[in-house]
Structure 1
């Protein structure tokens, strides 16, 4: 039972076609079988009964003959007008038992009808390729062989009817599928619009189709508008918060710089610098990439620039591998740059070597950042991607660590591009492998 659903088509068009075609084919088979069997068997039986009357008359004439010669003369005299070929005595090719094809349904009807009407019938052969029926009768003058055209007893095969039925079925199926396609296309467009919105692309969409599909389309547009309005309001609010926070921090930093330099002042300046960094990272996480538009970007060039900048800042960072067919990818370049910078920064903080690789496929772009550091245990990787999550004291911002937003920002960027961030073990360097996936 589990195998049967796998054989069914997965697309909406395929399933709709299956729902449309299967009933039509089933109805055609049932109607064709019932009609052909009942109608043509009935016609064959009636035609055979008419021929049986001629054969009965022929046998009566044979029986009236006093000698075999006279009987043969009487039979030949009436065989011509009745379109029968008579041999008395029977020839060597006269059948000795009933013979018909395995799938010759009308042949069975012919034999059964003749036996019911003609008790003197000894054998019937309906297998002749020339469509001749070969009969053998018993008479008082010996075996009588009669040959006649089968077309007199069986209805012609229903080729024209079958062709007409098949042509009509195909034509109606095509017409029905065309109408069905027009009804399914709005659903497909709605699914594509929702898929693009999940990847961060706001494509133009107008509700079309049936009333239910239009209602679903309008609900989707309302939902998309509410989400975009919420993101815009959040971004504007955080921009104002950023200005309000930076102003007192700048004044505080300026005041401390004018004071005589001692250990307390240095500690306060360090706290102010740390506060500025925390505010910047928090605003970067909260703002995300909402205000940036999707454009086609050369991913290799973008990542190469980030790797070069990280190398100039210190540490060994290399672009190791580029796999697949390189082509432009739709993305928000500033957001992806920020995500890759965060991943490389985390790798530099805990490892000495950092390698970045890219893998292109038809459905996604994967940017992997690997290091030779201690890595993250599998049971703590989900927690590591939560906002403000710090797994150990080495990640304490007061001791040079981050504020726990680097991986969260990268994961948020990946999700806004229809992808995901995965934390794995690096087989090449032995540390952590952070894989940023962007849908294409």
Structure 2
């Protein structure tokens, strides 16, 4: 039952708060109005019907005498009492007629039936008039009168009052509720944007609990920013300081006559490659401001440059439009995916799909792929999956997929690894929400 209700519950906080506010109010007022109006109609109709029976009894007393003179007198009395007397043109049945929702009609019928009048049938099918079929000594007659004589005329005032007060109170409650929910909405927007790598101005406000949560978020965001900056500065400084002695070593080894100098020079170059990878990893989440760029064109330019190194096929792209991205970061992530695919496969394809909700950049190869059990581990820094990817075809420090995953996360997206159905190797997909 709870699962069924959850499937129909609104998703937003505003809608749920409005539902919590409106349902009790409408239920309470509707129940009170229904019970009160029903009793009001029944009691008023019953009282008015009792007075009506006195007039009917007086009118029937003339009809009971019989004769033309009595009928004429009855017509005179009927006009004075606002009744209308007619002789039935056909046989009248014994079944009363009324609508299902006619509450006052039921009260009228029960009251008239409880009296001593020789009533055969009461017809309430006409909403404006009531027809009462009576058997008298002079024969059957149909006495009719206006329905408003036994109906309450001011019952709608209660409905109008309830409706006006409900709208007014709901509006006041909505204004108050919106002011209370606005700080929560601002906190959610700031959290979502920060998850996408965007820092927007945010100041805690609202109730005490909401203000405390907002202050905790702001402090957490500032602490993360400080840690990222400190890590970036530290690794950048270490990498910069190490380049000078490495350059001297390369120069000394290049002019050295030592037979081991070429091997040592290769080690030095590998160290430089590792430093470059470290810098790429530190820059992946400490990037510049977001820019509106065409992601399809960005992928096309990156693939065109990668084709100078090895064969890469750019598949037909889908979608058009601009999107907020860090172009250098996206290029670096795509370069890493293409480089890995070229290293372990002979056929590489790249596709870009820009939809209404997200951007998808897909790189596939025909290499050995990565087992499903190791795909999550493959995106961690400094992890090298030698059994899954042939190490003899290239060396690395285990930061390629980690950089891609970090770039995707900094844009509020993710990196998905799976098996390529078209090529049989690895399928790497960057998904970024718009």
TM-score, length-scaled by structure 1: 0.89
What residue is the counterpart of 1:147 in the other structure? 144
Query: Within 5 A, what are the aligned runs for 1:57-136?
Result: 57-62=58-63, 65=65, 68-69=67-68, 71-86=70-85, 90-92=87-89, 95-103=92-100, 104-129=102-127, 131-136=128-133
What residue is the counterpart of 2:42 in the other structure? 41
Query: For 1:69 and 1:396, how far apart are their aligned partners in 2?
Result: 121
Q: After TM superposition, give the deviation of residue 85 of structure 1 in Å.
A: 3.0
1:244 and 2:233 aligned: no
Query: For 1:396 and 1:92, how far apart are their aligned partners in 2?
Result: 105
Partner SS for 1:359: strand
Q: After TM superposition, give the deviation of residue 316 of structure 1 in Å.
A: 0.7
Please list every run of 5 or more consecutive structure 2 residues that lacks an aligned counterpart in the other structure: none
Query: Within 5 A, what are the aligned runs for 1:420-435?
Result: 420-435=414-429
Query: For 1:298 and 1:91, how far apart are their aligned partners in 2?
Result: 86
What residue is the counterpart of 1:306 in the other structure? 302
Q: After TM superposition, give the deviation of residue 123 of structure 1 in Å.
A: 2.8
Partner SS for 2:298: helix
1:322 and 2:317 aligned: yes
Q: 1:258 to 1:398 in 2, by over 3 A?
A: farther
What residue is the counterpart of 1:272 in the other structure? 268
Please list the CA deviations of residues 78-102 of structure 1 after superposition, one character each: whole Å capped at 9, or x if unmatched. Answer: 3333223346xx5435844242223
What residue is the counterpart of 1:228 in the other structure? 225
Q: 1:234 to 1:85 in 2, by over 3 A?
A: same
Please list the CA deviations of residues 229-275 of structure 1 after superposition, one character each: whole Å capped at 9, or x if unmatched. Answer: 1111111111221123223322322332332152x111111111111
Task: From 356, 371, 388, give the equivalent of 1:362.
Answer: 356
Instruction: State whether residues 100 and 108 of structure 1, in contact with CA within 8 Å, keep that contact through their aligned partners in structure 2.
Output: no
Please list the CA deviations of residues 8-49 of structure 1 after superposition, one character each: whole Å capped at 9, or x if unmatched. Answer: 211222222222222232123212211110011111111111
Name whichever of 72-81 and 405-414 sits farther off: 72-81
What residue is the counterpart of 1:52 in the other structure? 53
> CA RMSD of the aligned region, Å?
2.6
1:282 and 2:278 aligned: yes
Query: For 1:268 and 1:81, how far apart are their aligned partners in 2?
Result: 128
What residue is the counterpart of 1:339 in the other structure? 333
Query: For 1:304 and 1:123, how far apart are their aligned partners in 2?
Result: 88
What residue is the counterpart of 2:380 in the other structure? 386
Instruction: State whether residues 96 and 122 of structure 1, in contact with CA within 8 Å, keep that contact through their aligned partners in structure 2.
Output: yes
What residue is the counterpart of 1:21 in the other structure? 22
Name whichever of 167-176 and 44-53 sits farther off: 167-176
1:169 and 2:163 aligned: no
Q: 1:343 to 1:105 in 2, by over 3 A?
A: same
> How many residue pairs get matched?
432
1:197 and 2:191 aligned: no
Q: 1:112 to 1:10 in 2, by over 3 A?
A: same
Instruction: State whether residues 368 and 389 of structure 2, in contact with CA within 8 Å, keep that contact through their aligned partners in structure 1.
Output: no
Partner SS for 1:322: coil
Please list the CA deviations of residues 87-123 of structure 1 after superposition, one character each: whole Å capped at 9, or x if unmatched. Answer: 6xx5435844242223222122112111223343333
Partner SS for 1:201: coil
Name whichever of 26-35 and 205-214 sits farther off: 205-214
Query: For 1:394 and 1:5, how far apart are their aligned partners in 2?
Result: 44
Query: For 1:91 and 1:301, how far apart are their aligned partners in 2?
Result: 89
Instruction: State whether residues 414 and 430 of structure 2, in contact with CA within 8 Å, keep that contact through their aligned partners in structure 1.
Output: yes
Task: From 167, 181, 184, give the equivalent of 1:184.
Answer: 181
Please list every run of 5 or more consecutive structure 1 residues that lacks an aligned counterpart in the other structure: none
TM-score, length-scaled by structure 2: 0.90
Query: For 2:73 and 2:430, how far apart are their aligned partners in 1?
Result: 102
Instruction: State whether residues 343 and 393 of structure 2, in contact with CA within 8 Å, keep that contact through their aligned partners in structure 1.
Output: no
Q: 1:274 to 1:399 in 2, by over 3 A?
A: farther
Q: After TM superposition, give the deviation of residue 160 of structure 1 in Å.
A: 4.9
Query: For 1:341 and 1:125, how far apart are their aligned partners in 2?
Result: 87
Partner SS for 1:321: coil
Partner SS for 2:432: strand
